[in-house]
């Protein structure tokens, strides 16, 4: 890392999301020396022209403590001034070992206890109620008595560790279970769902409406910079992670998001997901306390969260104006194919299946009229090519 002291260096977990690649590109284009770390041999970020160094680290799924030690060892280098969290495991180890990291780098992220306010959805929805922020009717699965209304079941926690679930071995983590769409009027196999999910999940009223995010980078409970996103298409026709998104500017969404993060006295990054109901109110779904996977749309729209985060880690007083451009859109090309596949092959009880010809037209026309992309970049094609190869190898390996 020598020779980069003027701009410094940043450590970025190299995972298979556009958020990780965007962080590498944004920081590299800003002149920051980038160190991409991963437990895998060929994540897309390793193929970026803006990736200056790579390092293989322990898997946070199998060895959270070893992963934390590896990040801490990198943070101790004189040139390193920030570690950028791009997944839940990243922010988990940073928050849990906040004091140790604070000896070497800035720590623009929440305390471990405050992180649990968003990772534990019971605590999150309690905070929303205190803030006067609406949310879908949510309760533990084993406390539901009326099965007539439309409901989904999802994990109580953002991911599972020994801190939250007895069945997870110490030092390991488990990805959150997939959301289950329940048949209206049919009582599900409650014990079976609890066993398969590894804990008592939450049952939540299903709200059919457009999905939005309020995003912000916060310092001492106050916003440094904010943005908003509307999801136009997800991986599945029943939504899921965003693959075609638009930067927006909605005053009611901003007021709702700010009220929630003020109640949480938030520190660091937050992407609060909402769904707009028939009355125009924004109902809370979740908060992701890290660089979101769809952050390319924010960067395209003028809000470069990776760079702003790195600046805040270096200097907590930094605050400069942002040229935010609502109306900007971006696509994840691989996700568009997965979306069309879900229309052909998958079935969700609560979501209306759209017309395949109509959606093929919508996808094609938006790609032509709005040619901005999450991964594809003419000046940095490596991550897109590597991501495509990884996806193909994954499909071939399953067959």
Q: Give the percent of the chain with pLDDT over 90.
A: 86
In this structure, are 232 and 350 located in the same domain?
yes
Give the least confident one: 4-18, 92-106, 173-187, 343-357. 4-18
- What CATH number does the domain containing 301 carry? 3.30.470.20
Do 261 and 172 belong to one domain? no
Same domain, 229 and 327: yes
d(CA 118, CA 287): 6
Structure tokens at 373: 């992309």
The string of pLDDT tens digits covering residues 331-365 is: 999 999 999 999 999 998 888 999 999 999 999 99
Tokens describing residue 8? 């410094």
pLDDT band at 11 (very low <50, low <70, confident <90, very high): very high
Sign of the torsion angle spanned by Cα atoms 345, 397, 56, 64: positive
| pLDDT of residue 391 exceeding 90 | no
pLDDT digits (tens, 9 = 90+) for 248-307: 999 999 999 999 999 999 999 999 999 999 999 999 999 999 999 999 999 999 999 999
| Local confidence band at 6 (pLDDT 50, 70, 90 cut-offs) | low
Whether residue 342 is found in the same domain as residue 256: yes
Domain boundary among 168, 187, 205: 205
Residue 141: pLDDT over 90:
yes
Shared-domain flag, residues 144 and 228: no
DSSP single-letter state for residue 244: E
What is the reported pLDDT for 395?
Answer: 61
Please, is 87 exposed, middle or buried when counting C-beta atoms within 10 Å of its C-beta (0-12, 13-18, 19+)?
buried
Q: Are residues 200 and 217 in the same domain?
A: no
Does 253 fall in a domain?
yes
Measured in residues, the chain has a length of 399
pLDDT value, residue 277? 94
- The predicted structure's pLDDT at residue 390: 87
| Whole-number pLDDT of residue 4 | 42
User: Rounded to the nearest 5°, which phi and psi values hold at 236?
Assistant: -115, 155
Question: What is the rounded average pLDDT of the residues 57-79?
Answer: 96
Q: Is residue 352 part of a domain?
A: yes
Q: 385 and 242 in one domain? A: yes
41 and 116 in contact (C-beta within 8 Å)? no
Where is the domain boundary, 63, 93, 110?
110
Whether 31 and 153 share a structural domain: no
Within a domain: residue 161?
Answer: yes
pLDDT band at 146 (very low <50, low <70, confident <90, very high): confident
Q: Which residues are paired to 140 by β-bridges? A: 202
| Spacing of C-alpha 204 from chain mean position | 20
CATH number at residue 86: 3.40.50.720
Q: Is the pLDDT of residue 398 over 70?
A: no
Residues 342 and 248 occupy one common structural domain: yes
Q: Which of 153, 181, 205 is the last residue of a domain?
A: 205
- Whole-prediction pTM value? 0.94
User: What does the radius of gyration of the chain's CA atoms come to, in whole angstroms?
Assistant: 21
Cα 114 to the chain's mean position, in Å? 18
Confidence of residue 5 (pLDDT cuts 50, 70, 90): very low
pLDDT of res. 184: 87
In a domain, 116, yes or no: no
Q: How far apart are the first and last CA of the chain?
A: 42
d(CA 93, CA 166): 19
For every residue of 351-376, DSSP letters joined together read SPPPPHHHHHHHHHHHHHHS--BSS-
Greatest CA separation for the chain: 65
| Residue ranges making up the domain that contains 230 | 211-398
pLDDT of 113: 96
**Average pLDDT, rounded, for the chain:** 94
DSSP 191-211: HHHHHHHTS--EEEE---S-E
Is there a domain that residue 31 lies in? yes
Residue 128 lies in a domain: no
Q: What is the pLDDT of residue 1?
A: 55
Residue given tokens 């910079």 in the structure block: 225
Based on the domain organization, do 92 and 145 belong to the same domain?
no
Q: Are residues 235 and 159 in the same domain?
A: no
The answer as to whether 13 is a domain residue is yes
Segment 209-246, tens digit of pLDDT: 999 999 999 999 999 999 999 999 999 999 889 999 99
On whether residue 50 sits in a domain, the answer given is yes
Q: Between these two residues, 5 and 58, which has the higher pLDDT value?
A: 58
Share of the chain above pLDDT 70, in %: 97
Strand ranges (DSSP E) for 173-309?
Answer: 173-174, 180-181, 202-205, 211-219, 222-236, 239-247, 268-276, 282-288
Task: Looking at the structure, tell me whether residues 153 and 93 fall in a common domain.
Answer: no
How many domains does the chain fold into? 3
Q: What is the mean pLDDT of residues 66-90?
A: 97
What's the CA gap between 234 and 338, in Å, rounded? 9
Using pLDDT thresholds of 50, 70 and 90, give the confidence band for residue 2: very low
């Amino acid at each position: 890392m020598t020779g980069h002291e003027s701009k410094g260096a940043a450590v970025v977990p190299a995972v298979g999301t556009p958020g990780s690649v965007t962080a590498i590109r944004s920081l590299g284009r800003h002149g920051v020396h980038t160190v991409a770390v991963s437990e895998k041999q060929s994540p897309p970020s390793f193929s970026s022209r803006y990736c200056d160094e790579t390092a293989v680290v322990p898997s946070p799924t199998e060895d959270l403590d070893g992963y934390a030690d590896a990040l801490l060892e990198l943070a101790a280098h004189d040139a390193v001034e920030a570690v950028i969290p791009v997944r839940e495991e990243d922010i988990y180890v940073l928050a849990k070992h906040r004091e140790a990291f604070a000896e070497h780098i800035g720590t623009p992220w929440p305390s471990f206890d405050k992180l649990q306010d968003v990772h534990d959805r019971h605590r999150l929805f309690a905070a929303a109620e205190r803030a006067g922020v609406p949310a879908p009717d949510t309760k533990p699965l084993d406390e539901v008595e009326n099965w007539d209304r439309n409901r989904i079941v999802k994990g109580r926690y953002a991911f599972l560790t020994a801190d939250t679930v007895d069945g997870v071995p110490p030092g390991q983590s488990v990805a959150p279970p997939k959301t289950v769409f329940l048949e209206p009027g049919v009582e599900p196999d409650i014990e079976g769902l609890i066993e398969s999910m590894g804990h008592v999940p939450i049952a939540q009223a299903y709200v059919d409406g457009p999905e939005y995010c309020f995003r912000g980078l916060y310092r001492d409970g106050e916003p440094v910079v904010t943005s908003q996103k509307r999801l136009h298409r997800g991986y599945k026709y029943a939504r899921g992670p965003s693959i075609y998104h638009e930067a927006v500017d909605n005053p009611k969404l901003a007021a709702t998001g700010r009220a929630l993060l003020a109640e949480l006295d938030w520190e660091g990054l937050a992407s609060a997901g909402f769904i707009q109901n028939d009355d125009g109110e924004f109902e809370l779904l979740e908060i992701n306390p890290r660089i979101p996977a769809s952050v390319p749309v924010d960067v395209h729209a003028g809000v470069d969260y990776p760079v702003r985060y790195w600046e805040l880690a270096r200097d907590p007083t930094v605050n400069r104006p942002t040229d935010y451009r609502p109306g900007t859109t971006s696509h994840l090309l691989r996700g568009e194919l997965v979306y069309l596949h879900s229309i052909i092959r998958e079935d969700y009880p609560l979501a209306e299946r759209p017309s395949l010809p109509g959606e093929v037209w919508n996808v094609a026309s938006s790609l032509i009229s709005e040619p901005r992309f999450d991964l594809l970049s003419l000046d940095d094609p490596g991550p897109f090519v590597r991501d495509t190869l990884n996806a193909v190898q994954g499909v071939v390996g399953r067959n």
